[in-house]
């Protein structure tokens, strides 16, 4: 046994060791296109409030921008990012990221993935038009599924509503080839 063990308990012939609690990792809110990811960007009033029903397949088929000029750190691209989308898909895995977002991997019946993310409330600026909806979506999700920084593998049907977001391609689990995401998620429903 090492000195790092806080306690050892023997019950019914089994020895259980309990390690001291590790300090929680500090969450640092994101920076890259963060106003757009949280609905606090300069173009937030240009996002359609009409909910467009869609599919993972349709969103994956949209054209990605060829680059992300500095202007788009605080502004939305025309098209997908100016829509409120709703889709039903299979949730296959999720976890909390270092920036506090809950990273959801969504899959369609053809086995194609995309990402949706639910920001942490304290990382969403007051000027976001969706701040309360993001908080409600996160509360709905966390009351249904436990969240931690480890991957949780599931097979659940989920209906999400959220704003379109085009992310740079950076080899992240579940990323669509065009970088499309629902980010922020503004509504979560389980059947």
pLDDT at 25: 61
pTM of the model: 0.86
What stretches in the chain show pLDDT beneath 70? 1-25
DSSP state of 19: P
CA 79, CA 116: separation in Å to the nearest integer? Answer: 18
Query: With contact defined as beta carbons under 8 Å apart, do 86 and 189 qualify?
Result: no
DSSP state of 72: G
Query: With contact defined as beta carbons under 8 Å apart, do 9 and 15 qualify?
Result: yes
Closest alpha carbon to 127 in 9, 22, 40: 40
pLDDT at 83: 98
Walk me through the domains of the chain, giving residue ranges and CATH numbers: 24-189 (2.40.50.140)
Place of tokens 């593998």: 153
CA 136, CA 185: separation in Å to the nearest integer? Answer: 10
> What would the two tokens of residue 94 be?
């999720």
CA 183, CA 36: separation in Å to the nearest integer? Answer: 8
Partners of 152 in the beta sheet?
94
CA 77, 94, 123, 55: dihedral to nearest 10 degrees? 30
DSSP state of 71: G
Query: With contact defined as beta carbons under 8 Å apart, do 101 and 155 qualify?
Result: no
């Amino acid at each position: 046994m090492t000195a790092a063990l806080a306690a050892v308990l023997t019950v019914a012939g089994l020895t259980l060791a309990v390690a001291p609690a590790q300090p929680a990792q500090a969450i640092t809110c994101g920076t890259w296109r963060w106003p757009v990811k949280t609905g606090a960007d300069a173009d937030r009033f240009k996002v359609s409030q009409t909910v467009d029903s869609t599919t993972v397949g349709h969103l994956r088929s949209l054209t990605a921008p060829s680059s992300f000029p500095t202007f788009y750190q605080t502004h939305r691209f025309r098209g997908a990012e100016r829509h409120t989308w709703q889709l039903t898909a299979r949730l296959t895995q999720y976890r909390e990221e270092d920036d506090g977002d809950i990273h959801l991997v969504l899959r369609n019946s053809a086995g194609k993935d995309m990402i949706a993310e639910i920001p942490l409330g304290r990382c969403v600026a007051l000027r976001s038009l969706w701040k309360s909806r993001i908080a409600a979506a996160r509360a709905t999700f966390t009351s249904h599924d436990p969240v931690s920084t480890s991957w949780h593998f599931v097979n659940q049907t989920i209906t999400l509503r959220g704003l379109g977001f085009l992310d740079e391609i950076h080899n992240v689990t579940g990323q669509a080839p065009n970088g499309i995401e629902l980010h922020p998620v503004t509504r979560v429903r389980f059947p």
